[in-house]
């Protein structure tokens, strides 16, 4: 073994020796829900709302190229310009996250699936994997968040994006084989690593930004990086990017929901329902005219939460660029063509939807002499796993499972998506946004739940909004209209046309 390898082994041994001696358990248990992640982002970023000149926020003005950790360690280990990677520690921390969650499930909440014995583990290693029947919130929201911990264990030990993705696969496989007495799940193995890569990288970079700014609760975004850098003085490499734009909104409006059946069945009433709402938009890295070689040097995330008596709706849309080129860069025109990775999810009283995809995107910004700015985005995705609610398993048409048996009330599919986004901005005229995304997938036959049906689904999201500055420089008032459309063509059930619309008035505060 060479000197470098010996040093890494010694450092890993000292790290865990210190961990054991201090006897500190560092973990975060959260409700597995997109609404919780949204709330964390809104709460923490809303604390930094004091604008400085140029409309930027003082917290994020400076580039954060420094690194936390022991200075002596930096001088000794980084003199040759190489960043140390702690593979052993990364694996152990990913396993530790499983141990914490498993222990909580087994001894605190006493979940039946966590009562694992040797025979269960033996069966898991020899069984064929299946499409499981867990609820939408657990599978499509909780598992990506759980996967983000595996991924962050890699990033906290200086593994790159793809190495950390492989670690997320390891974490997911070990969870399925060792930490549940249910048959290992195919959909969990897809959702946890890929969703964990998207949310894990986003949260890792938000930790880096907020920690560099001295925010005391930055560990919420990436506990492992906080643990390694703050508690044990380890060098954690930080991404070179920064937040480019950030805004939060609040308002109120109405929601309509309607269903039309192919049979003579009566449509669901679409009486308007008053709601309140909150939103957050975040753009990390300037997205136009960029040649990206480090995944997620540019990413965007948008969250939305609506609520009223007897109604809830949470949505989170995330996109990161993996690689891109810049075909044209001039003073007035900048564009980017790249490969993206996305995770979109809607958890709603009437609608359950998620899509995990990779695709291509073209983004362009045009600046005109009058102060007019036009931005556009066009994308095409391969949806390697989509999920959508199956109405007949939600409305009581079929009896619920008996006892501890579970049954999914949503379908899983594979297909594609097309997207477009347009933005027109003028300092006096205001800002107009138009977004559209269409999805089409075939329901996976092997994943059809009991009383479910095969077939195909077509889904569409449309949004138009207009806002204009009011009162102060960073505050605007606006109106937004959103429409969700879904057409189901089932093999053994009546076809359905599902429609949900909302109209909202809002105030938006630009923090950056």
Note the pLDDT tens digit of each residue in 287-320. 999 999 999 999 999 999 999 998 999 999 999 9
- Calpha distance 248→60 (Å, rounded): 16
The pLDDT, as a whole number, for residue 409 is 93
Choose among 290, 286, 289: nearest CA to 299.
Answer: 286
**Residue whose token pair is 């082994």:** 9
- Taking a C-beta distance cutoff of 8 angstroms, is the pair 499, 259 a contact? yes
The pLDDT, as a whole number, for residue 184 is 97
Position 162 pLDDT exceeds 80: yes
Choose among 256, 199, 275, 212: nearest CA to 238.
Answer: 212
The pLDDT, as a whole number, for residue 15 is 40
The pLDDT, as a whole number, for residue 477 is 98
Find the range with the poorest average confidence among 35-39, 215-219, 375-379, 381-385: 35-39
Give the model confidence (pLDDT) of 407-436 as tens digits.
Answer: 899 999 999 999 999 999 999 999 999 999
- Calpha distance 235→67 (Å, rounded): 7
- Taking a C-beta distance cutoff of 8 angstroms, is the pair 319, 338 a contact? no
**Residue whose token pair is 């954690």:** 236
- Taking a C-beta distance cutoff of 8 angstroms, is the pair 414, 386 a contact? yes
Choose among 104, 82, 89: nearest CA to 152.
Answer: 89
- Taking a C-beta distance cutoff of 8 angstroms, is the pair 57, 246 a contact? yes
Q: What percent of the chain has pLDDT over 90?
A: 76
In this structure, what token pair is assigned to residue 205?
A: 């970079």
Q: What percent of the chain has pLDDT over 70?
A: 83
Position 259 pLDDT exceeds 90: no
Find the range with the poorest average confidence among 24-33, 252-261, 501-510: 24-33
The pLDDT, as a whole number, for residue 160 is 97
Q: Is 267 helix (H, G, I), strand (E, B) or coil?
A: coil
In this structure, what token pair is assigned to residue 362?
A: 């073209």
Find the range with the poorest average confidence among 3-7, 136-140, 256-260, 363-367: 3-7
- Calpha distance 143→253 (Å, rounded): 32
Q: How far is CA 347 from the centre of its chain?
A: 13
Q: Which helix (H) or strand (E) holds 170?
A: helix 161-178
This prediction's pTM: 0.85
* Sign of the CA dihedral with 317 first, then 101, 27, and 236 last: negative
**Residue whose token pair is 């459309």:** 485
Choose among 145, 131, 199: nearest CA to 414.
Answer: 131
Residue 21: pLDDT band (50, 70, 90) is: very low
- Taking a C-beta distance cutoff of 8 angstroms, is the pair 352, 346 a contact? yes
User: How open is the CA angle 246-248-250, to the nearest 5 degrees?
Assistant: 165
In the predicted model, what is the mean pLDDT of residues 464-476?
Answer: 96
Q: How far is CA 58 from the centre of its chain?
A: 26
- Taking a C-beta distance cutoff of 8 angstroms, is the pair 170, 216 a contact? no
- Taking a C-beta distance cutoff of 8 angstroms, is the pair 463, 435 a contact? yes
Specify the pairing of strand 352-367 against strand 373-389.
Answer: antiparallel
CA 311 vs CA 190, 250, 408, 512: distances in Å: 30, 17, 21, 32
Domain extent listing, the chain: 3-30+64-231, 243-510
Position 51 pLDDT exceeds 90: no
**Residue whose token pair is 């308002």:** 251
Residue 1: pLDDT band (50, 70, 90) is: very low
In the predicted model, what is the mean pLDDT of residues 479-486?
Answer: 97
Give the model confidence (pLDDT) of 231-247 as tens digits.
Answer: 889 999 999 999 999 99
What's the mean pLDDT when you consider all of the chain?
86
In the predicted model, what is the mean pLDDT of residues 280-290?
Answer: 98
Residue 156: pLDDT band (50, 70, 90) is: very high
User: 243-510: what CATH class?
Assistant: mainly beta
């Amino acid at each position: 073994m060479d000197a470098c390898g010996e040093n890494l082994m010694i450092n890993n041994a000292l790290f865990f020796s210190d961990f054991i001696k201090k006897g500190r358990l560092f973990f975060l248990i959260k409700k597995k829900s997109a609404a919780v992640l949204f709330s964390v982002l809104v709460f923490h970023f809303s604390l930094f709302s004091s604008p400085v000149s140029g409309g930027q926020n003082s917290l994020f003005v400076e580039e954060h190229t420094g690194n936390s950790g022991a200075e002596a360690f930096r001088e000794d280990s980084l003199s040759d310009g190489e960043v140390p990677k702690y593979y052993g520690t990364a694996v152990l921390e990913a396993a530790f996250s499983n141990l914490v969650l498993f222990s909580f499930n087994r001894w605190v909440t006493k979940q039946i699936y966590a009562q694992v014995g040797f025979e269960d583990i033996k069966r898991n290693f020899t069984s064929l994997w299946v499409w499981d029947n867990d609820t939408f919130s657990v599978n499509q929201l909780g598992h990506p968040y759980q996967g983000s911990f595996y991924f962050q264990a890699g990033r906290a030990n200086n593994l790159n994006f793809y190495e950390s993705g492989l670690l997320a696969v390891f974490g997911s496989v070990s969870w399925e084989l060792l930490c549940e007495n249910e048959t290992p799940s195919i959909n969990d193995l897809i959702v946890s690593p890929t969703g964990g890569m998207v949310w894990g990288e986003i949260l890792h970079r938000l930790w880096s930004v907020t920690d560099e700014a001295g925010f005391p609760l930055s560990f919420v975004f990436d506990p492992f990086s906080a643990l390694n850098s703050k508690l044990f003085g380890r060098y954690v490499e930080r991404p070179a990017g920064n937040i480019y734009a950030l805004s939060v909104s609040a308002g109120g409006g109405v929601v309509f929901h309607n269903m039309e059946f192919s049979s003579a069945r009566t449509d669901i009433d679409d009486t308007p329902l008053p709601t309140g709402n909150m939103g957050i938009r975040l753009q990390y890295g300037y997205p136009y005219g960029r040649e990206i070689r480090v995944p997620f040097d540019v990413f965007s995330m948008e969250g939305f939460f609506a609520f009223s008596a007897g109604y809830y709706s949470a949505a989170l849309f995330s996109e990161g660029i993996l690689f891109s080129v810049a075909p044209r860069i001039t003073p007035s025109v900048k564009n980017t063509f790249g490969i993206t990775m996305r995770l979109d999810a809607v958890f709603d009283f009437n609608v359950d939807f998620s899509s995990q995809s990779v695709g291509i995107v073209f983004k362009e910004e045009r600046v005109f002499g009058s102060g007019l700015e036009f931005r556009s985005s066009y994308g095409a995705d391969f949806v390697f796993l989509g999920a959508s609610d199956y109405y007949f398993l939600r409305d009581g048409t079929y009896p619920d499972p008996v006892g501890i048996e579970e049954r999914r009330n949503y379908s899983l599919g594979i297909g594609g998506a097309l997207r477009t986004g347009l933005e027109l901005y003028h300092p006096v005229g205001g800002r107009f946004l138009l977004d559209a995304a269409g999805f089409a997938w075939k329901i996976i036959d092997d994943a059809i739940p009991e009383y479910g049906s095969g077939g195909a689904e077509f889904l569409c999201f449309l949004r138009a909004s207009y806002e204009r500055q009011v009162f102060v420089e960073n505050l605007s008032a606006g109106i937004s209209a959103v429409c969700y459309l879904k057409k189901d063509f089932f093999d053994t059930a009546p076809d359905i046309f599902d429609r949900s619309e909302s109209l909202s008035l809002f105030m938006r505060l630009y923090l950056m």
